[in-house]
Amino acid sequence: MSYFAQINEDNIVEQVISAPSQEWCEENIGGRWLQTSYNTKGGVHLAGGTPLRKNYAGIGYTYDEQRDAFIAPQPYPSWILDEETCIWQSPVPRPTDNKLREWNETELDWVEIPLSE
């Protein structure tokens, strides 16, 4: 079985299912369907196979016909789409200090999340 994403008229993914084929989806469920690969992220197939549409589709993702890519919703207004991977990137790299952090859009930086004692 393969995975298929149902795309609405605005190119937004409405659902992702496992099915025998794209034709099966169209005939039995209706609508527009595109194959997606569970093992594809950033244009790389994680199991060494052929990548498909840059990223595995998720509900709410956009299908970009020009790039032939599934793109997640932009997480923050300041984040920029990497054209090669079709993954959103923060304007400041996330620190690699093993501290728990979250993005702060007001400060445009990663801030540490304090751990309660």
Q: Are 20 and 35 in contact (CB under 8 A)?
A: no
Domain ranges of the chain: 1-73, 75-117
Distance CA 12, CA 15 (A): 9
Give residue 63's pLDDT: 98
In the chain, helix, strand, coil percent, each to 5? 5, 35, 60
Give residue 115's pLDDT: 85
| 117 confidence band (pLDDT: 50, 70, 90) | low
Residue 74 pLDDT exceeds 90: yes
Give residue-wise pLDDT tens across range 2-53: 999 999 999 999 999 999 999 999 999 999 999 999 999 999 999 999 999 9
Percent of the chain having pLDDT more than 70?
A: 99
For residue 46, the SS3 value is coil
- Closest by CA to 4, choosing from 79, 100, 72, 70, is 70
